[in-house]
Structure 1
Amino acid sequence: MIIEDRAQSYEEALRRSGIRITRQRAALLRILADTDDHPDATALHARATAAGAGVSLATVYRTLAELEAQGLIHKVEFVGEPARYEPADQRHHDHMIDVETGQVVEFFNERIEKLQAEIAAEMGYEILRHRLELYVRKLP
């Protein structure tokens, strides 16, 4: 989904919930729609502030909570890190978290997906959804 379409869908979702789209909130939604990393609320607040949108941190949290409730963003919580957010319209992927830098790397591996499905089936289950997080550090 392109950035403008994503930002528009965020605005429409908030309007349906009765949330006013102020200039500040619209700027925040555009920043959120344009992100290609996994920002936390504080990082989004800092980006909005740097862009000149005087949005409060409380507004950032309320906006994120509503977008998550409507299924437009996913809240991802990595061990020892504040909650981060990513668009829900992305195809399935897993995460590697660099424990030294905090960088989050998205990846998809068909062999891992197949193996997980095989293991679940061998045990009499089917996978409905899953998350795979690898906590890593760069090799010397």
Structure 2
Amino acid sequence: MNDKQLMACIAQAADDLGLDSWALGRRAGLPEELVSSVLSGQTQAAVETLVALAAALGLEVQLVPVQPARRIVGSVPTIVDQAVERVAPELIVHVDDDGVPRDRTPAAGPPYSKLGPQSEVGPVASPHSKNTGRKA
């Protein structure tokens, strides 16, 4: 989240509570001019200002680790894939040539197929079926 998105969240929270920049500034112990300038994006908020605004809105500022992106590795891994797998194996997802993860069993047919268990000629007969598909 960048600073503009963060200020937009704070502005939305203030709006949800029906607080204008004067009321928010009063709650946060900050001058209305500063609050207005920060919320409009004209001034970048200092950490202390951000914490005071959040507290005035009943919010808390937290630092949360960003989830690293998973790396999809095909049937022929690159040198980078191999290096990432050595240092962070949990980030690697191996897939076969069809793009199906190797640790999962593929579904019975493509997920986009609306035909069900049919061939191009017609329904596929089960080996246990008494119906051979021939007319009597």
What TM-score do you get using the length of structure 1 for normalisation? 0.28
Larger Rg: 2
Q: Which has the larger helix fraction?
A: 1
- Higher RCO by CA contacts (8 Å cutoff, separation 6 or greater): 1
Q: Which has the larger strand fraction?
A: 1
